[in-house]
Structure 1
Amino acid sequence: MGSTKKIGLIGRLDPECELFDGQTVKTRMMYRLLCELYGEENVVVVETKDYRHNAPRVVAQTVRCLLTCRDVFVSLSRNGRKAFFPLLSFAARHLHTRVYHNLIGGWLAQDLEECPQQVSYLNDFRVNWVESHQLVGKLEELGVGNAEFLPNFKYLDGTEVPESRYYGPGYRFCTFSRVQELKGIGDAMDTVEKLCSEGLDCCLDVYGPIDPSYKEEFETALSRCVHAEYKGCVAPEKSVQAIASYDALLFPTKWKPEGIPGTIIDALAAGVPVIAAKWQYYDEMLEDGVTGFGYGFGNNELLADEIKKFIELGNGANELRKGCLARAVAYSPEAVSDVVAAAVDGERLRD
């Protein structure tokens, strides 16, 4: 790997660190990995944050990236894909740019059904890395011939997590995601409040950026739910440290396009069992009775029963804790770096 080789990265890094959403965090993680593999000075970034309002800058960065980099990594949202994919397809065909698409989210198959011309763009790329084995199969059925599995991964803060701890009354639960209706935050708050009214000793802390459209409703819910508290945002590298002190993570998502959430990786790495709605890729990350408990998607009224099941375990929850820690290994940077390096350096060796 010579120092003159440049690696491009197109995506939203948000250098001011104002954003904590899954897209931004995933792009930052890939940036860090590429810097470790090839040197920070050799990674050429196209910052796509607010790209529509910063078109001259983004165009200039993109032109520089495509003219100086043979290998370009891309992490874009649904709208970003529509804006950049035609250009990247052109670069792959005519400039021989090697495009490595690292998919954001889990809804690409549905997008292709609505916009089938994107299949040709994807097939022009070297690889389309997706977070789900199921999605690889769906994309193949739709004509994408280069989809491969690459797990979502996170750099964490190295917090020491013991394999066992005490579980008892005074249960502390948390949510760790965007604070919006589709993440089921209000349902989690109402559920904990209901359990407290039944005599169970528990509370809920809510972490994450508040969606502006949900702010008023959320503040109303906080005033109603006296056993819930908002704790603000936590830097992605500190997420395990924040989650580790809780008994369980609640994940009552109602968002159908849910992919492989970084917050679940955080919980696994912290050894914190997950009580979740079974979204489309639940079974690829979690296992009932091993990493926590799940219930049918769209049935958040069942969340209370699963929390009670968890509480009934007492210190038996340490078995779930061990299951989480074992599962977390699959989502570490070490699980991904060899795949990324082999893809890039293998292409270079064939030149």
Structure 2
Amino acid sequence: MTVYYLGQFPPPFGGVTVKNALLFRLLSAEMDIHKLEFRKSGSFAIGARVLLSRSGDVFLIGFGNRDLQRLFIKVIGFVRPRVLERLIVIVMGGEISGEIAQDKMYARFCQRVRAMYFETKGMAAQVEAVGLRNTRLFPNCRQRPESPWFPKSNSGMLKVVFFSLVDDSKGADLVLEAAYRTPGVEYHIYGSLSERFEEKFRNTVSGLSNVIYHGVFNAVECDVYAELHNYDVHVLPTRWRGEGVPGILVESKIAAVPSVVSDFGFNAEIVENDVSGVVLRENTVDGLVEAIEMLDGNRTLLDSLKRGAKESAEDFFPERFLGQILSDIHKWEERGE
């Protein structure tokens, strides 16, 4: 048996490439596994390699492009369907489960795949409703830090952090309005400015003394957990249609910082309300201000949420899922096609 990992790998250091690199590194410590990188080989060459593979070859698939994944699986399903039984798909993002549920042909081919690893139980439930019985769970994991980060109490000014694309689709407009309405709270913003939002952002921030823009965080050279640990609360009132499992929600947990999130996408599966953070009833500036003022005024609750965030981080370390993935890899018994 020969095992291949097919997908995008760093650089660039995006969510998909980081997830692929992390899983590849863990699997490499357990077995021989070979990379098939799109950046080096190209889609056509890799597709031919899979279609012409031997019966003992097994492929882990980590696509960042969901349209390419759908095309890839459909082509294999039409040209050489038995290969589907040797695919293990590491699903990236939150939209693929809905696309499978709405595309009968796509769903039929995915039913034949050996295993499909979704990031949340809700994503898996969407495809199970249309007949898939090969679903597994592999969240948007992060590597366990060498030294754990413990909750840190703060009796001074509340420090709120926003760590994402700075755009209204991610709720940055709500954060700025909340900052205007809570002048006794510090707001620290990290991320690239979207072109359409930049002018509004800079004009607004220039008039707010409690908002500090830090620019884009260098995640390659700097420790994101150490940076996040400087703050009390992370906020992500996102309304982005493509939201899956935002990596920053996992990173905040590891840094022992609770998140205040919109009840949008799969956020409520990642952040447990009143346990590891706050899930807003309504994704409005009033709801966000209410949550921030509540945590500012109730530091006992805030400290409890910090402990809950740290404890829930255990669900996002990859070691606990590795055994199932290895079991699926080794499940194959060679047979002729």
Alpha carbons 1:260, 1:281 under 8 Å: kept: yes
Q: 2:177 aligns with which of 181, 186, 190?
A: 190
Cα displacement (A) at 1:257: 3.9
| Corresponding residue of 1:205 | 188
Percent identity over paired residues: 18
Cα displacement (A) at 1:62: 4.0
List runs of 5+ in structure 2 lacking aligned partners: none
Q: Which secondary structure does the structure 2 equivalent of 1:174 belong to?
A: strand
The alignment status of 1:24 with 2:12, answered yes or no, reads no
Matches within 5 A, 1:57-96: 57-64=42-49, 67=53, 70-76=57-63, 77-89=65-77, 93-95=81-83
1 CA distance for matches of 2:37 and 2:49? 9
Question: One-letter code of the match for 1:266?
Answer: E
| Corresponding residue of 1:51 | none
93-102 or 285-294, larger mean C-alpha shift: 93-102
Q: Which secondary structure does the structure 1 equivalent of 2:186 belong to?
A: strand
2 CA distance for matches of 1:221 and 1:144? 48
291-300 or 306-315, larger mean C-alpha shift: 291-300
2 CA distance for matches of 1:207 and 1:31? 29
Q: 2:132 aligns with which of 120, 144, 166?
A: 144
The alignment status of 1:180 with 2:171, answered yes or no, reads no
Q: Which secondary structure does the structure 1 equivalent of 2:329 belong to?
A: helix
Matches within 5 A, 1:212-291: 212-226=195-209, 227-235=211-219, 238-291=223-276
1 CA distance for matches of 2:23 and 2:179? 36
Alpha carbons 1:8, 1:65 under 8 Å: kept: no
Q: Which secondary structure does the structure 2 equivalent of 1:117 belong to?
A: helix
1 CA distance for matches of 2:260 and 2:83? 48
The alignment status of 1:153 with 2:141, answered yes or no, reads yes
1 CA distance for matches of 2:136 and 2:21? 21
| Corresponding residue of 1:47 | 38
2 CA distance for matches of 1:215 and 1:116? 41
Change beyond 3 A, Cα 1:57–1:139: closer
Alpha carbons 2:61, 2:89 under 8 Å: kept: yes
Q: 2:9 aligns with which of 3, 13, 16?
A: 13
Q: 2:117 aligns with which of 129, 132, 145?
A: 129
Cα displacement (A) at 1:297: 4.8
Alpha carbons 2:101, 2:127 under 8 Å: kept: no
| Corresponding residue of 2:153 | 166
Cα displacement (A) at 1:339: 1.6
2 CA distance for matches of 1:47 and 1:212? 29
Alpha carbons 1:252, 1:300 under 8 Å: kept: no
| TM-score under structure 1 length normalisation | 0.83
Q: Which secondary structure does the structure 2 equivalent of 1:229 belong to?
A: strand
2 CA distance for matches of 1:36 and 1:176? 32
Cα displacement (A) at 1:170: 2.3
Cα displacement (A) at 1:301: 3.1
25-34 or 316-325, larger mean C-alpha shift: 25-34
The alignment status of 1:309 with 2:305, answered yes or no, reads no
Q: Which secondary structure does the structure 2 equivalent of 1:38 belong to?
A: coil
Alpha carbons 1:184, 1:251 under 8 Å: kept: yes
Q: Which secondary structure does the structure 1 equivalent of 2:16 belong to?
A: helix
Change beyond 3 A, Cα 1:60–1:8: same
| Corresponding residue of 2:95 | 107
Cα displacement (A) at 1:349: 8.7
Q: 2:28 aligns with which of 20, 26, 35?
A: 35
1 CA distance for matches of 2:85 and 2:24? 19
Question: One-letter code of the match for 1:258?
Answer: E
1 CA distance for matches of 2:99 and 2:165? 23
| TM-score under structure 2 length normalisation | 0.86
Cα displacement (A) at 1:229: 1.1
1 CA distance for matches of 2:313 and 2:232? 17
Q: Please, what is the CA RMSD of the aligned residues?
A: 2.8
Detail structure 1 runs of 4+ shifted over 6 Å in the superposition: none
Q: Could you say which structure has the higher helix fraction? A: 1
1 CA distance for matches of 2:267 and 2:105? 30
Query: 1:56-86 deviations in whole A, cap 9, x for unaligned?
Result: 7332244346637812111223222233222
List runs of 5+ in structure 1 lacking aligned partners: 49-53
Change beyond 3 A, Cα 1:120–1:96: closer
Alpha carbons 1:26, 1:152 under 8 Å: kept: yes
Cα displacement (A) at 1:217: 4.1
Q: 2:320 aligns with which of 320, 335, 349?
A: 335
